[in-house]
Amino acid sequence: MTAAASSASGEPVDAIVVGAGLAGLCAARHLQRAGRSVTVIEASDGVGGRVRSDMVDGFTLDRGFQVLLTAYPEATRQLDLGALELRAFDPGAAVRVGSRFHVVGDPLRQPATLWSTSVAPIGSPIDKLRLLALRRRVRRTEPAQLLRGTDEATIDHLRSAGFSPRMIDRFFRPLFGGIQLDPSLSGSARMFDVIFRMLSDGDSAVPAAGMGAIPAQIAAGLAPGTVRFGTRAVAVESSAEGRSVRLASGDVITGRSVVVATEGTAAASLLGLPAVGSKRVACVYFDAPSAPVSHRYVVLDGTRSGPVLNVAIMSNVAPSYAPAGRHLVAAAITDPADDLDLEVAARTQLRSWWGGQVDGWRHLRTYRIEHGQPDQTPPFHPRQRVALGDGLFVCGDHRDTASIQGALFSGRRCAEAVAVATAS
């Protein structure tokens, strides 16, 4: 059966967007603002894709620990950051080495952390001076410039900048391994530089109502009824008669253009593009009667004492994430083994950090995310083609950087290309 995705006038819509993650929502909003008619089809039951939050027993659980870096240029451009009521982490991290936690702060933003940072056993004094030099270099260079030039693996980049193995293992590996879901540090050095700059320029923050508030804000800017949930695309075609999307239900919908805004693996299969590898990640959430630490730093495991790479006491950062008198602990695990009981493994590891109190924590939920981020190994080229010809378009973090910034940017620049193509 063929069903045209119709605009109010009954004409086929200008664009069918497949996927209501950040990229698809941005593309749809941008196109509607440019006067185009748009239908978004989304396989799941809500907007946000990888950026969704669930309410469980009064706790706000993001589907995987993640943060918005407020320095992302597209966040400033496309989001109403004030309305998100952002709650920021302290800049830096508390790194666990041996049986102690050491605050490695940003002394330029928090002078009180100068001493703890200087004495933290994560590297030599020269390593820490190199860290300042790295910060200065990336802040002096435009992000677009950081994404150009020769690329190499992050670990080689750090070694050639003179960082010691101790500094790499105890600081960069848990911090960037967690952010880029890449504890091997084999990902693009260009991306490392950009993320390091974003961390130095702004805050790592979450909206008071959970990360899902970000896509919800964008979706609120769409015309009512734009998004059709529970609607999965199984094929995308372009012919002389027009563009069509075959749905899992067997229906076919047609439009003047089709924007595939799914994650990279699905986009590759729908459009016949080169395969995109995926990085897996998991997050185990616990309800704790009291917080194991009182600060707002992300806690890093500097010595790989188990599968948990970093821990965030979400309720210290955003009290609204937990009911009054309770605390929310998020334990993030990269590349989790299929047969590992993540709750048991996380509890065992965190008991070795914080003792018997951990046995009193109630397991809330574990998320395993098969496609956390697309692989972006060097040489990494952002700004990949979004206009594929014949009315077909593609966007998503796999076309730009593997991040919220990349998804927002990709959605916008794809919409600009569609708007040009559907101008007449």
Ligand X SMILES: Cc1cc2nc3c(=O)[nH]c(=O)nc-3n(C[C@H](O)[C@H](O)[C@H](O)COP(=O)(O)OP(=O)(O)OC[C@H]3O[C@@H](n4cnc5c(N)ncnc54)[C@H](O)[C@@H]3O)c2cc1C
* Interacting residues with ligand X (CB under 6 A): 18-24, 41-44, 49-51, 64, 66-67, 179, 232-233, 261-263, 266, 281, 369, 372-373, 396-397, 402-407
Q: Which of 96, 137, 25 lies closest to 304 in space, CA to CA?
A: 96
Phi, psi of 127 (to 5 degrees): -55, -40
- For ligand X, which is the closer residue by CB, 212 or 391? 212
Compute the least distance from the CB of residue 373 to ligand X, in Å. Answer: 5
Supply angle C-alpha 212, 214, 220, rounded to 5.
100
- For ligand X, which is the closer residue by CB, 44 or 357? 44
Residues 6+ apart with CB under 8 A from 238: 244, 258, 390, 391, 392
Compute the least distance from the CB of residue 126 to ligand X, in Å. Answer: 30
- For ligand X, which is the closer residue by CB, 23 or 185? 23
What residues form DSSP beta bridges with 236? 245
DSSP string covering 316-362: HH-GGGS-TT-EEEEEEEES--TT--HHHHHHHHHHHHHGGGGGGPE
Compute the least distance from the CB of residue 289 to ligand X, in Å. Answer: 26
User: In this structure, are residues 373 and 402 in contact, taking their beta carbons and an 8 Å threshold?
Assistant: yes
- For ligand X, which is the closer residue by CB, 120 or 260? 260
- For ligand X, which is the closer residue by CB, 402 or 419? 402
Query: What tokens does 57 get?
Result: 């027993």
Compute the least distance from the CB of residue 355 to ligand X, in Å. Answer: 28
Compute the least distance from the CB of residue 124 to ligand X, in Å. Answer: 29
Compute the least distance from the CB of residue 213 to ligand X, in Å. Answer: 14
User: In this structure, are residues 335 and 181 in contact, taking their beta carbons and an 8 Å threshold?
Assistant: yes
Compute the least distance from the CB of residue 400 to ligand X, in Å. Answer: 9
Compute the least distance from the CB of residue 263 to ligand X, in Å. Answer: 4
Instruction: List alpha helices for 34-169, DSSP H.
Output: 73-78, 114-119, 125-140, 143-146, 154-160, 165-167
Q: Which of 77, 65, 86, 82 lies closest to 26 in space, CA to CA?
A: 77
User: In this structure, are residues 28 and 2 in contact, taking their beta carbons and an 8 Å threshold?
Assistant: no
- For ligand X, which is the closer residue by CB, 70 or 107? 70
- For ligand X, which is the closer residue by CB, 85 or 159? 85
- For ligand X, which is the closer residue by CB, 106 or 127? 106
Residues 330, 288: Cα–Cα separation, whole Å = 11
Residues 6+ apart with CB under 8 A from 41: 16, 17, 18, 19, 227, 228, 231, 232, 233, 245, 247, 253
